[in-house]
A and B are shown apart, each in its own frame.
Chain A
Amino acid sequence: MTNNPIIEVKQLYKSFGNEPALNNLDFSVEKGEIFGFLGPSGAGKTTTIKILTGQLNQDSGSATVLGSNSQHFKENIYEHIGVVTHDSGLYENLLAYNNLVTFARIFNSDKKSIDPLLKRVGLYNDRNKLVKKFSQGMKQRLILARAILNRPEILFLDEPTNGIDPGTTKEIHKLIFELRDSGTTIFLTTHNMTEATKLCDRVALLNDGKIAEIGSPQDLSLKYNKKIQFKVLLKDNESLKLNDSEETRGKINWWLENGELQTIHSCEPTLEDVFLQVTGRKLK
């Protein structure tokens, strides 16, 4: 990963009435990474995405995306950005294929890229169906397909798998990895810590409009792993949770040498545990 910020946010402040929604945020996102914005509902995730995509103006501070100030975006910057928010709509009275053709015309993309894209999101067989007949999961996949039709340099995903079935979620995760591998930077918001741990190269933990922590999921887990423990399952199905010590290491070695050990896991905290430690509140 190169040290090349593609999103740079400095002292970003936004309030609604007297309530600060974002309180002097500072962070940057590097080219080609999946950056997760993790926080409970109302933490300021969607507000941040709206500011970064030029749909909302901040009160103070700056947000720079692809070198442009988000308050003064020119229309053509959107040719390099894909946006999927929870209120991204579709033309329900058009066929799925025609929805994409419209945006292919806008982006001057090759219409031949539509069919492979529909295959990639698993909607090729439904391309000639009206969108109003689609399930929520199918609509979400079509919205994602539309957002990547122009091969964006940055893809903003606001809770992309919220309310989606596990099968579709898995497909969307696969697609996100493929996009990252092809060089797209992904800015993702979620309150699902399992999703964030699985997908994100780095996460920012957002609480009450402030960034409480920032780093890779692994680094954060290790940083807050104050009490090193191991969870073991022995051959006689006895399950034990052991604190790290000379004695524990000796026991584990003995069980290993004698074939007594079925499974062993370290017990570092999950992102949800880290969030709880840092903010004193749960994610959901």
Chain B
Amino acid sequence: MNISLRKINAIFILKLQLFLGNLSLLMIPAMAIGYVVIFKNFFPANTVAFKALTLNMGILLNIIMGGIMFGAYPIAEEKEHHTLGVLMTSSINATEYFIGSLLPALLILTITNIILVPLNGTSWNQVSIINYLIITVICSIISILIGFTLGLFSKNQTNAGVVSLLPAAIFTLVPLFKGFSNKISHTSDFLYSGVIPRFINQSLFKHSYSWSLFEVSVLIAWFIIFSIVLFYAYRYKHFD
């Protein structure tokens, strides 16, 4: 399969235009920013625990809810308005389409993730920016892949919103509530989104973070699983 950078760029610009005109989608990163700003300014408990909780919530909301919706909505919209078939009969292949669709979503989510740290009152001295970017980018990509898959199985945008809610809630809330019970904590360890609070908590409480083989394996496993699921979902659903 040939991959054309020109075609990826065409899809990138198209999707960026559509994202920037879609207020429903932009509300999610805006909500993440709003949440962090409100908690920082109206609940000024300047404890590390409070900062970690607020930052975790903002990042998870942006990456999980945002990532899944940024993946699911546009594909559902393409199916609803019959434009996916048009792209496929215009010499765009699946790889070009998915890379071109993923990159603008990733750009918006990553800019939001970068903004969230200073808005939360956390210094970049406390959080390794390299590790932060690696973890948030990989988790965002996995969320977008999950969103793509859900979008392919959705009939329209409303349906995409409905089917996205449950996985988004699970991947957001389980890592946040991991302190409530051992079972939740154990489950969170196996979720890709569980890596985020571990990284933030260790960075803020212990002032250092080191990658574990288990965390790397969890991220790789989720990435591979959803790449394969997406491949088969696209193969059977793209011209529906």
Contacts and interface: CB of A to CB of B under 8 A. Distances in A.
A91 B92 contact: no
B7 A76 contact: no
Interface residues of B, number: 27
Contacts of B17: 94, 98
Interface in B71-93: 78, 81-83, 85-93
A266 interface: no
Among B9, B11, B82, residue most surrounded by chain A Cβ atoms (within 10 Å) = B82
Contact of B93 (A55, A75, A91, A107): A75
Among B2, B13, B87, B89, residue most surrounded by chain A Cβ atoms (within 10 Å) = B89
A249 to B, nearest CB: 55
Given A55-B239, A93-B18, A102-B13, A78 B81 contact: no
Given A87-B82, A88-B82, A89-B81, A105 B6 contact: yes
A28 to B, nearest CB: 22
Contacts, number: 71
B14 interface: yes
A146 B87 CA distance: 11
Contact of B86 (A76, A88, A93, A94): A88
A79 interface: yes
A102 B85 contact: no
A53 B239 CA distance: 12
Given A55-B89, A78-B91, A91-B14, A108 B83 contact: no
Interface in B86-135: 86-93
Given A89-B83, A106-B10, A78 B21 contact: no
Contacts of A220: none
Contact of B81 (A91, A105, A146): A91
A92 interface: yes
B81 A107 contact: no
A108 B18 contact: no
Contacts of A54: 89
Interface in A51-77: 53-56, 74-77
Contact of B89 (A53, A92, A94, A108): A53
B91 A75 contact: yes
B10 A105 contact: yes
Contacts of B89: 53-55, 78, 81, 83
Given A76-B2, A91-B18, A106 B91 contact: yes
Interface string B152-169: 000000000000000000
Nearest to A98: B17
A106 B90 contact: yes
A157 B89 CA distance: 13
Interface residues of A, number: 28
A121 interface: no
B208 interface: no
Contacts of B2: 74-76
A26 to B, nearest CB: 25
A107 B91 contact: yes
Interface in A102-130: 102-103, 105-108
Interface in B13-61: 13-14, 17-18, 21-22
Nearest to A131: B81
Given A55-B85, A102-B10, A106-B10, A93 B90 contact: no
A29 B10 CA distance: 33
A88 B84 CA distance: 9
Contacts of A55: 85, 88-89, 239
B21 A93 contact: yes
A91 B7 CA distance: 17
A87 to B, nearest CB: 4
B92 A75 contact: yes
A267 interface: no
A250 B86 CA distance: 61
A106 B8 CA distance: 8
A90 interface: yes
A94 B18 contact: yes
Contacts of B78: 89
13 contacts: A55-B85, A56-B239, A75-B2, A75-B93, A81-B89, A89-B81, A91-B14, A91-B83, A93-B22, A102-B10, A105-B10, A106-B87, A106-B91
Given A89-B78, A106-B7, A106-B11, 10 more contacts: A74-B2, A75-B93, A88-B82, A89-B85, A89-B86, A91-B14, A105-B6, A105-B7, A105-B9, A105-B10
Q: What 4 pairs across the A-B complex have the smallest Cβ distances?
A: A89-B82, A105-B10, A78-B91, A89-B83
Interface of B: 1-2, 6-7, 9-11, 13-14, 17-18, 21-22, 78, 81-83, 85-93, 239
